[in-house]
Amino acid sequence: MATKNQDEDHQLHIVMVPWLAFGHLIPFLELSKSLAKMGHRISFISTPRNIQRLVKNQSSSPFINFVSIPLAKDENLRDQAEATIDLPLDEVPYLKKAYDSLEGPVSIFLETSRPDWIIYDFAPHWLPPIASRLDIPCCFFSIFNASVNCFFGPPSRHTESDKDDSVSRNRKMLEDFTATPSWIPFPTNLAFRMHEIRKVFGSIQINVSGVSDGRRFACTIQGCEVVAIRSCMEFESEHLGLLEKLFEKPIIPVGLLPPSPDVNDEDDKHEEWMKMREWLDKQEKKSVVYIALGTEAALTKEETSELALGLELSNIPFFWVLGKPTGSTDDPSSMLPEGFEERTKGKGFLCFSWAPQMRILGHPSLGGFLTHCGWSSVIEALGFGCPLILLPVINDQALNARTLVWKKVGLEIERDEEDGSFTREAVAKSLRTVTVDEVGETYRAKVKEMRQVFGNNLLHDGYVERFSQYLKEHRRSNADKLVKN
């Protein structure tokens, strides 16, 4: 049996440096909690307000230390804006500029703490040179799945110096993104639709930080020793294998990092949840469609209206979380068609604020989930074996939707290829197909299979354990540091 000193010798000090978006912060926190359970000390770096929001209703771990570093003041960045959820899309570039102000304080923290590993996100392009100077090994952690990473190709194609190579020449026009890339050698439907790639490029604002997202991505990948990815072999083994060739780095899946149960321990006592549960309890088993399209990318008023009329036309009970778009002060109910709330009273539950997604997805009345295809939401839904109706809104969501269709666990709402518009009839048809019609039994059967993967906590714990073992085996020893110095 190992002695206490030997056990301590195998414990690592790991610094986490995520980007300032909750779609990134939460997976980094889940990975931190998993590693902390194995006895590793975690220093989780973020800004004061984000840390306050992260630790709220979380059970504390003595092995996780939240390191609070404020952003530099920027006259273009609104007060209290410390995450993308605090800003409209066109102001996010100022958040990236402010994020880069963390370089000095993070460097000082690393110099004084000398951790065994740094695990970082795509944004801190300045971190690999600091780590190299201090001889601290780095791991890039991708919160996106392997198929999304494969679609965008090797990091070299994102650097300005390599923009004339053959990979870049393959994508000079928007239309080039609507075809499967040549470097994916196996059959796949992975590609954007024209309206989706237009929206991606339309959302790219002026680069006030001086560093593009592509450059950030390339620098962080090229500067790391290993890439960790939120995925598993049971779901996308082909893409994980290909990614190792594209990135020319070891790729280690860390599992799907399903949310910890303690994230929602307080929900049962929440007055709003009690009202929601009371309504859900009255519905028939597997009869309700849950609609939640994320917090940071919203439908237009016209799209929201058509979606509402499609729900009404389907005659399926629904639970719809319809919050304010990021940066908006409008009442979300103003997005709905006139008379909709009255006509659907009793048939649907409209929620205009907080909702405990995990509790709702796990309720016996749930028969389907109309989702924007964010990877975290997909993981949560498939963990409960919930069939998916797909309505991607922006960025990687479209590629996630293609993968889910390819795997036959979801059905996309039919849309116009050019402008992305959809009809109430298309909404109603997709809802009924996935949840009640006989033809949709394929989807319902497939998600039952996927639940054995996505809902298997032991499987995903095993992935984190193997990742932990890799980090321990590849830490810098004192001898290594002496040789280098």
328-371 residue pLDDT tens: 667 788 889 999 999 999 899 999 888 899 999 999 999 999 99
The two structure tokens encoding residue 249: 């780095």
Q: For residues 222-235, give the mean pLDDT.
A: 97
φ/ψ of 399, rounded to 5, equals: -70, -35
Say what the pLDDT of residue 163 is: 42
Cβ–Cβ under 8 Å, residues 26 and 230: no
Quote the Cα angle for 167-173-175, to 5°: 100
Within 13 Å and on the Cβ side, how many CA atoms surround 103? 13
In the block, residue with structure tokens 């680069």: 207
Quote the Cα angle for 456-460-464, to 5°: 165
From residue 35, give the alpha-carbon distance in Å to each of 38, 64, 116, 279, 282: 5, 9, 13, 38, 40
Beta-strand pair 348-351/366-371: unpaired
Residue 266 has pLDDT above 80, yes or no: no
Q: For residues 82-100, give the mean pLDDT.
A: 92
Rounded Cα distance between 258 and 383, Å, is 8
Say what the pLDDT of residue 58 is: 65
Mean residue pLDDT of the chain comes to: 89
The two structure tokens encoding residue 53: 């929001």
Say what the pLDDT of residue 199 is: 85
Burial (Cβ within 10 Å: 0-12, 13-18, ≥19) of residue 206: exposed
Cross-strand pairs, 13:
41
The two structure tokens encoding residue 470: 């890799």
Categorize the per-residue pLDDT at 17 as very low, low, confident or very high, splitting at 50, 70 and 90: very high
Say what the pLDDT of residue 89 is: 83
Say what the pLDDT of residue 235 is: 97
Quote the Cα angle for 340-344-348, to 5°: 120
Categorize the per-residue pLDDT at 259 as very low, low, confident or very high, splitting at 50, 70 and 90: confident
Q: For residues 416-438, give the mean pLDDT.
A: 95
Categorize the per-residue pLDDT at 56 as very low, low, confident or very high, splitting at 50, 70 and 90: confident
Say what the pLDDT of residue 90 is: 84
Rounded Cα distance between 241 and 190, Å, is 16
Categorize the per-residue pLDDT at 263 as very low, low, confident or very high, splitting at 50, 70 and 90: very low
Say what the pLDDT of residue 168 is: 44
Say what the pLDDT of residue 334 is: 86
φ/ψ of 236, rounded to 5, equals: -150, 60
pTM over 0.85: yes
Q: What is the dihedral of CA 262, 263, 265, 271, to 10 degrees?
A: 180
Cβ–Cβ under 8 Å, residues 424 and 310: yes
Cβ–Cβ under 8 Å, residues 141 and 118: no
φ/ψ of 99, rounded to 5, equals: -60, -40
Burial (Cβ within 10 Å: 0-12, 13-18, ≥19) of residue 312: buried
Burial (Cβ within 10 Å: 0-12, 13-18, ≥19) of residue 44: buried
Residue 485 has pLDDT above 60, yes or no: no
pLDDT digits (tens, 9 = 90+) for 167-216: 344 577 889 999 999 999 999 999 999 999 988 876 666 688 888 888 99
Q: For residues 259-278, give the mean pLDDT.
A: 71
Residue 164 has pLDDT above 50, yes or no: no
How many helices (DSSP H) and strands (DSSP E) are in the chain?
21, 13
For 16, the enclosing helix (H) or strand (E) is strand 13-17
Say what the pLDDT of residue 9 is: 58
Best mean pLDDT range from 85-89, 103-107, 154-158, 196-200: 103-107
Which residues are CB-contacts of 11 (< 8 A; sequence separation ≥ 6)?
39, 40, 41
Estimate the share of the chain in helix, then strand, then coil, as percent rounded to the nearest 5.
50, 10, 40
The two structure tokens encoding residue 447: 């998600």
Range from 120-129, 130-139, 167-176, 388-397 carrying the lowest mean pLDDT: 167-176
Strand, coil or helix: 159 = coil
Range from 150-164, 201-215, 293-307 carrying the lowest mean pLDDT: 150-164
φ/ψ of 389, rounded to 5, equals: -110, 125
Residue 4 has pLDDT above 90, yes or no: no
Describe the crossing of helices 424-435 and 301-314 by its angle, rounded to 10 degrees.
Answer: 50
The two structure tokens encoding residue 154: 């090797």
Within 13 Å and on the Cβ side, how many CA atoms surround 254? 28
Rounded Cα distance between 210 and 125, Å, is 12
Say what the pLDDT of residue 294 is: 81
Say what the pLDDT of residue 444 is: 95
Strand, coil or helix: 36 = helix
